[in-house]
Amino acid sequence: MYGLEAINAANGWAMAYTGAIIVFLGLVVLSFVVSQLNRVLSFWENLISKFKQNHTVKQTDELQDKDTSVVPHHFPSDIKEAARYYSHLIEDLDQPFELTRLYEISQQKGFPHPHITISNFRQANILVPAGGGLFTWSQP
């Protein structure tokens, strides 16, 4: 067989146009995916860098929080500096409060010499009597 008859008998037309469509489609899809690869990668990298940035900020915040709640082995002689450490404890107390309550919390937190320190706060009028054995905190 020759000519169109041979092409028809071998299903040549279908093979030719199906094959052409498939190879075109394949390379068009590959070309599209490749053209988007750059964008997908930059999107992904942005996402990662944002996540990392957030993570770093969080860690920094946590570190800062930790810094403020670090308990020194010896309180500084400056009463104002000592009051700064105690102010975090006062935040957890309802004002006015009993000195025993402040003493308990400062002991729990491991503050050194709470009795002497609270006494000093009293003398410096940082702890102000509110009547009925209760005191309020007056930040120096």
Partner 1 sequence: MELLIQFLTNTGYYLADFRNIIMLFVGFIFIYLATAKKYEPLLLVPIGFGILVGNVPFFKGFGLGIYESNSVLHYLYFGVTSGLYPSIVFLGLGAMTDFSSLLARPKLMLLGAAAQMGIFFTLLSALALGFLPKEAASIAIIGGADGPTSIFLTAKLAPHLIGPIAIAAYSYMALIPVIQPPIMRLLTTHKERVIHMTELREVSKKELVIFPVVGVILCCFLAPASIPLLGTFFFGNFMKECGVTERLVQTARTAIIDIATIFLGFTVGASTQGDVFLTGKSVGIFCLGAVAFSIATASDIIFAKIMNLFFKDKINPLLGAAGVSAVPGSAREVHLVGQHEDPTNYLLMHAMACNSSGVIGSAICAGILWSFLV
- In the complex, which residues of this chain contact partner 1 (CB under 8 A)? 1-4, 6-7, 10-13, 15-20, 22-35, 37-38, 41
Rounded to the nearest whole angstrom, what is the least distance from the CB of residue 49 to partner 1 in the complex?
14
Rounded to the nearest whole angstrom, what is the least distance from the CB of residue 29 to partner 1 in the complex?
6
Token pair belonging to 52:
């990392």
Report which of 67, 79, 74 is spatially closest to residue 139, judged by C-alpha positions: 79
What letters, b where the CB count within 10 A reaches 16 and e where it falls short, cover 3-19?
Answer: eeeeeeeeeeeeeeeee
User: Quick check: 72 and 79 in contact, CB under 8 A?
Assistant: no
Shorter beta-carbon distance to partner 1: residue 31 or 54:
31
Shorter beta-carbon distance to partner 1: residue 22 or 47:
22
Shorter beta-carbon distance to partner 1: residue 31 or 100:
31
CA distance 12 to 3: 11
Rounded to the nearest whole angstrom, what is the least distance from the CB of residue 55 to partner 1 in the complex?
22
Rounded to the nearest whole angstrom, what is the least distance from the CB of residue 21 to partner 1 in the complex?
10
User: Quick check: 135 and 98 in contact, CB under 8 A?
Assistant: yes
Residue type, 58: K
Shorter beta-carbon distance to partner 1: residue 3 or 131:
3
Taking the chain, what is the end-to-end CA distance rounded to the nearest angstrom? 109
